Amino acid sequence: MKVLVAIKRVIDYAVPVRVRPDKAGVEALLPKLSMNPFCEIALEEAVRLKERGVAAEVVAVSVGPQHFQDTLRTALAMGADRAVHVPVTAETFAAAGAAGGGGGGGGGGGGPAAASESPLQPLGVARVLAALAGREGAGLVLLGKQAIDDDCNQTGQMLAGLLGWPQATFASKLELAKGAARAVVTREVDGGLEVLSLPLPAVITADLRLNTPRFVTLPAMMRAKKRPIEAAPLESLGLAPADVAPALALLAVEQPPARAAGTRVGGVEELVRRLREEARVL
Amino acid sequence: MIPVLLESGLRHCRAAQSLLRCSATQARQASTLLYVEHSENGTVAPATLSAAAAAKHLPGQLEALVCGSGEAVKHAADAAARLPGVSKVWLASDAALEHPLAETHATLLSSLAARQKPSHIMAASTAQGRNVLPRVAALLATQPVTDVVRIVDDDTFVRPIYAGNAFATVQFKTPPAVRVITVRPTAFPVDQTAAAAGAPGTGGKPAPVEPVPSELLAPLGSVPAAKWESADVRSTGRPELGSAKVVVCGGRALKSAENFAMLEQLADLLGGAVGASRAAVDAGYVANDLQVGQTGKVVAPDLYIGVGISGAIQHLAGMKDSRTIVAINNDSEAPIFSVADYGLEADLFKAVPELIEAVKKVKQQQ
């Protein structure tokens, strides 16, 4: 069985971001970009499936600007067999005249100038992944449950909908035997856990607790640098720029309202008194 | 594959189609279809009450869809009929809908939407809402909007990005036939008096309940779907974390699962819920579903008490809209002190028992 893993490049989770003065997006305080943490977990799970002999091949795919290839190299170093990059930039839409009134670029995730941004929105990504899943004859598509930049939490569900495949989102455990026709997935839901059994092919999105991704070793990274990354333009997948053009324009990005400065209290007694008399919450 | 190929093949007609859709939307009465979440005993989820409150910011009538099977779905439909603002309830009762599986629920929701042509489809941004609604949007070929905190107008919404470090205002470039949105429950407070007036048994006038047409239920049995095997849902008797008025959160500094009993005692005294940071969950002190933060629950109680929590941005994303924030930590540099209204720099193993005694005294006086 072939496993497809979708990878997104985002501003590193540990790097603070701030709203740009022109409100067109956010900027990172350090120029560090990494694989989205949830994508890392999805990839780790796929590589483990390969190591157990369940998956025959792991294909890492990414849709977006040229610099997303760096993250696909990390995916190769982590154990993906192949990498496929579908190049899409803001210019893709501008050239096609499909950018709409917003002047191109930007989306639910931020402004055109932020270095990490993909101009795509989940519907566009899901359409590309659906075409790739068809081309590759994938038996399973693994994704992260959400990207930590746009926080959408949509792509996996939309992909499953487009393909007409079953879905298991927020997975914290995946049981899949070699040659099995079904995957058993434990999901994190409000209030606890839920277990589903899915006929394959299926789409699964990873929650934080699915696994702990391995570290990439330097020799693995050096080997990955030499390996080719296939470029699969939209046209080769039967898609046009209009199919993946963002539907939402980003009007403004604003700072969250700042909280008034708080105070330190001297002890429990003072805390309780102020909670009663000032905050009136006790 | 097929829908994708069809989409690309049809793109030449897009411009004409969107013009038609535009005028059709304007001519048609705006309306919202609300996806109702309910428990196994037929109680409507508190988060759905918030979604109904959010729907008031949209024009037109509000209709609710309740999916399930057996007695539970009938109870839930009766309760949904008493939600403030709901003018009609669609009742979908079928064995294929017994558990909230995205495959069957999304198929039904999208086919009902294709028939009723609402201008908006809405649900609460819970695990269930986030599981089902993006799939509905894909079936309707529209880009959804997740976790909306403010509705500006029909096509314009505000939502948090980057773990709540920024708020993005997004707008549909071309008004779509239907907008699929999930709303953050804590951003839309429920009008308690209206909810009470509509609560079952208090004499509120319920909206009519109508079964969905049977031809919409017929195809559900053959949808390739997951099979629901089991659930492990904990019942603590405490209020639900996402809607509790008081939340007491613990971090790694609690050092063990046993020490969380202290926080449970404090939460029970205050009539609140217990939450945790990711560090406490990863260390195995409490179950995953108690995690507060970007990847867990978003809470906005009247009173949040963070005990032994440093305040990583991913945790702050889940609690910084709380009305009053208290932090108890022995590290004076902990980032949580920057958002706390009241910061107590102290050893939690000394401060929490003292706080429990002090709260007991206050409660005795009341």
- For A207-218, the pLDDT digits (tens) are 999 999 999 999
Q: Does residue A100 carry a pLDDT above 90?
A: no
Contact A203, A167 (CB under 8 A): yes
How confident is the model at residue B57, as a pLDDT? 96
Q: Does residue A93 carry a pLDDT above 90?
A: no
How confident is the model at residue B2, as a pLDDT? 44
User: Angle B80-B84-B90 (CA atoms, 0-180°, nearest 5)?
Assistant: 35
By the CB < 8 Å criterion, does B246 face chain A?
A: yes
CA distance A63 to chain B (A): 16
Residue range(s) defining the domain that contains residue A120: 2-97+115-257
How confident is the model at residue B22, as a pLDDT? 46
pLDDT tens digit string along A248-282?
999 999 999 888 889 999 999 999 999 999 998 98
Looking at the domain assignment, is residue A20 inside a domain? yes
Domain count across chain A: 1
Contact A122, B134 (CB under 8 A): yes
Q: Pick the closest to residue B134 from B233, B35, B58, B68 (CA basis).
A: B35
- In this prediction the pTM is 0.90
Instruction: Count the residues in chain A.
Output: 282
pLDDT tens digit string along A46-75?
999 999 999 999 999 999 999 999 999 999
Q: Is B234 annotated as a binding residue?
A: no
Q: CB A130 to CB B127 under 8 A?
A: no
Pairing of strands B156-161, B166-172: antiparallel
By the CB < 8 Å criterion, does B156 face chain A?
A: yes
Contact A173, A166 (CB under 8 A): no
Nearest chain A alpha carbon to B176: A247
Residue B337 or A116, more confident: B337
Contact list, B303 vs chain A (CB under 8 Å): 275, 279, 281-282
CA distance A84 to A65: 13
CA distance B122 to B55: 8
- Measured over the CA atoms of residue A41, residue A44, residue A48 and residue A50, the dihedral's sign is positive
Looking at the domain assignment, is residue A277 inside a domain? no
By the CB < 8 Å criterion, does B164 face chain A?
A: yes
Q: What average pLDDT does the segment A29-44 reach?
A: 96
* Residue B142 structure tokens: 């529209």
Looking at the domain assignment, is residue A270 inside a domain? no
ipTM of the complex: 0.93
C-alpha to C-alpha distances, B340 to A220, A261, B264, B346, nearest whole angstrom: 45, 8, 21, 14
Instruction: Count the residues in chain B.
Output: 366
pLDDT tens digit string along B64-91?
999 999 999 999 999 999 999 999 999 9
Q: CB B341 to CB A248 under 8 A?
A: no
Looking at the domain assignment, is residue A93 inside a domain? yes
pLDDT tens digit string along A118-166?
679 999 999 999 999 999 999 999 999 999 999 999 999 999 999 999 9
What is the CATH number for A24? Answer: 3.40.50.620
- The distance between the two most distant Cα atoms of chain B, rounded to a whole number of Å, is 74
Domains of chain B: 31-195+204-220 (3.40.50.620), 246-365 (3.40.50.1220)
CA distance B177 to B155: 11
Nearest chain B alpha carbon to A240: B8
Q: Is B192 annotated as a binding residue?
A: no
Looking at the domain assignment, is residue A244 inside a domain? yes
Q: Pick the closest to residue A155 from A61, A91, A73 (CA basis).
A: A61
- Measured over the CA atoms of residue A176, residue A182, residue A184 and residue A188, the dihedral's sign is positive
For chain B, which residues score pLDDT lower than 50? 1-27, 201-203
How confident is the model at residue B29, as a pLDDT? 76
Q: Is B308 annotated as a binding residue?
A: yes
How confident is the model at residue A130, as a pLDDT? 98
Looking at the domain assignment, is residue A126 inside a domain? yes
Which three-class secondary structure string do you get for B50-100? HHHHHHCCCCCEEEEEEEECHHHHHHHHHHHCCCCCEEEEEEEECHHHCCC
